[in-house]
Amino acid sequence: MQEIKFFNGENIPLELHKVRVVQKLHLVPIERRLEALHEGGFNTFKLKTKDVFLDMLTDSGTNAMSDNQMAAMMQADDAYAGSQSFERLQKAVEDVLGKKYYLPVHQGRAAENILSVAYVKNGSLVPMNYHFTTAMAHITTNGGKIAELLYDEAYVINSDHPFKGNMNIEKLEEIIKLHEPKNVPFIRMEASTNLIGGQPFSVKNLRDVRALADKYGIRLVLDASLLGENAYLVMKREEEFKNSTMAEIIKTMTDLADIVYFSARKLSSSRGGGICTNNVEVYKELEAYIPLYEGFLTYGGISSREIEAMTVGLYETLDETMISQSPSFIKYLVDSLDKKGVPVIKPAGVLGAHIDAMQICAHIPQSEYPAGALAAALYLISGIRGMERGSVSNQRDEYGNETYADMELVRLAVPRRVFTLSQIKYVEDRVHWLYQNRHLIGGLRFVYEPPVLRFFMGGLEPVNDWTHQLIAKFKEDFGESL
């Protein structure tokens, strides 16, 4: 994509779209924000949007839809079986992802459920570059274990490594030999590792994984939920692809996988999801689970309108001006925070900016959830809702012990084409203020802890009265400002 320079030398991202439908936001007073935190158990998942100013929880289902996606929804062909909307979607999957056989599911985790039910059993081991919460939960629920095999550089916060999501090839081979290929139902590669900073892997790395999959006769599964952005960073960072199109890069990547699955809430700015393959045997192995868990084979739990939006959204994933918007805003935010000394994952990746609670809240032990505390504190002083991506998001081990996360991050998601630059500047300003006052943030403890995926519905409380001290300092510095 051509660079757009400003005469004044400023280096800021420029929106290449116009806004024609808007939604009013509310910035409620800090006293109400404290009440909302108590009502929601200091868990940002349990806040209500009427109390949230900038919703940076996730990009899942929150990317802005295009005019063409909205228009396509009107031609939805509602039919239980054999809908024309589904035929259009099938064609889009083949055109964009290069896979002939497509099984629709209602969202990404439904694909993970089906893959796990079909292929994982007691004693299975699934190697992956890094886990995603729901992917891991489905594998372990079916009796399997996971092995995360990133290189050491993936865990370095302040780095300039372009592909921190790369699979550690040497460790992958070691672990396959150790556990024997027959116990490895598939290798899972996640595009733009969600939980550790939205970091991409290179095509070269994926080719190396493919070679090992071939050598040991193991299926290679690609989680393509964030594939568009991963492909965009391949274009920017991998020499071989600097003159390739998005379509070429995406096809190169999906061609290397036996099975591709995705959350359409992310990939195509719609709802829905899917599993696709060119292997008819795989298709047949999985087919029967769709009517059982999702719906008939031509809708899979997705409404026909969303199927139409998904079709257009898949083609739009190939548009560089669309796909580059979120990474360019993230880069702006990451670079601005970095200049102010705020520890933030570098290089900037996709999905969001990830601030490092382990450093910012070094005074809070992991047993008191520094990332959860930082996410709550940020909401309190700004109305910005981020997501905890640390130990609260981890699950306990089989003996009920805490498993502390490798990283304690607060993710500030930047959904595609949702925020303006002044809103991003507000984020930068309030995160900076909070960083300067970080010593006032205290820890959290669970008061309600669900056994599975506890981060969604769990309830916590502050370990002491730190919220009041933070509010007092906010009032001192901002007066009556919201």
Among 69, 85, 263, 467, binds ligand PLP (CB under 6 A): 263
Q: Is 201 in the site for ligand PLP (CB under 6 A)?
A: no
Q: Is 225 in the site for ligand PLP (CB under 6 A)?
A: yes
Among 132, 186, 283, 474, binds ligand PLP (CB under 6 A): 132
Residues 6+ away with beta carbon under 8 Å from 20: 67
Q: Is 301 in the site for ligand PLP (CB under 6 A)?
A: no
Q: Is 194 in the site for ligand PLP (CB under 6 A)?
A: yes
DSSP state string for 136-169: HHHHHHTT-EEEE-B-GGGG-SB---S-TT-B-H
In the bound state with ligand PLP, the residue whose beta carbon lies nearer, of 343 and 352, is 352
In the bound state with ligand PLP, the residue whose beta carbon lies nearer, of 411 and 430, is 411
Q: Which of 58, 133, 140, 311 is catalytic?
A: 133
In the bound state with ligand PLP, the residue whose beta carbon lies nearer, of 256 and 387, is 387
Q: What distance in Å separates the CA atoms of residue 144 and residue 164, rounded to the nearest whole number?
A: 26
Q: Is 190 in the site for ligand PLP (CB under 6 A)?
A: yes
Q: Which of 132, 186, 201, 299 is catalytic?
A: 132
Q: Is 116 in the site for ligand PLP (CB under 6 A)?
A: no
| Contact range with ligand PLP by CB under 6 A, out of 71-79, 223-231, 405-413, 468-476 | 223-231
Burial (Cβ within 10 Å: 0-12, 13-18, ≥19) of residue 70: middle
Q: What distance in Å separates the CA atoms of residue 391 and residue 387, rounded to the nearest whole number?
A: 12
Which among 36, 41, 35, 64 has a CA at the least distance from the CA of 52? 36
Distances (CA, A) of 248 to 36, 203, 315, 384: 47, 12, 13, 37
Packing angle between helix 280-287 and helix 108-119, nearest 10 degrees? 100
3-state secondary structure of 222: strand
Other Cβ atoms less than 10 A from the Cβ of 319: the count is: 16
Query: Least distance in Å: CB of 263 to ligand PLP?
Result: 3
| Contact range with ligand PLP by CB under 6 A, out of 3-11, 66-74, 105-113, 276-284 | 105-113
Give the start-end residues of each E strand in 322-434.
352-356, 384-385, 387-389, 409-413
In the bound state with ligand PLP, the residue whose beta carbon lies nearer, of 54 and 310, is 310
Give the sheet arrangement for strand 409-413, strand by strand.
Answer: 352-356, 409-413, 387-389
Q: Are 46 and 457 in contact (CB under 8 A)?
A: yes
| Contact range with ligand PLP by CB under 6 A, out of 208-216, 262-270, 409-417, 452-460 | 262-270
Q: Is 273 in the site for ligand PLP (CB under 6 A)?
A: yes
451 preceded by a cis bond (ω within 30 of 0)? no
Q: Is 270 in the site for ligand PLP (CB under 6 A)?
A: no
Among 33, 99, 109, 131, binds ligand PLP (CB under 6 A): 109
In the bound state with ligand PLP, the residue whose beta carbon lies nearer, of 249 and 361, is 249
| Contact range with ligand PLP by CB under 6 A, out of 85-93, 146-154, 258-266, 447-455 | 258-266
Residue 171: active-site member: no
Enumerate the active-site residues: 80, 132-133, 223, 266, 389, 455
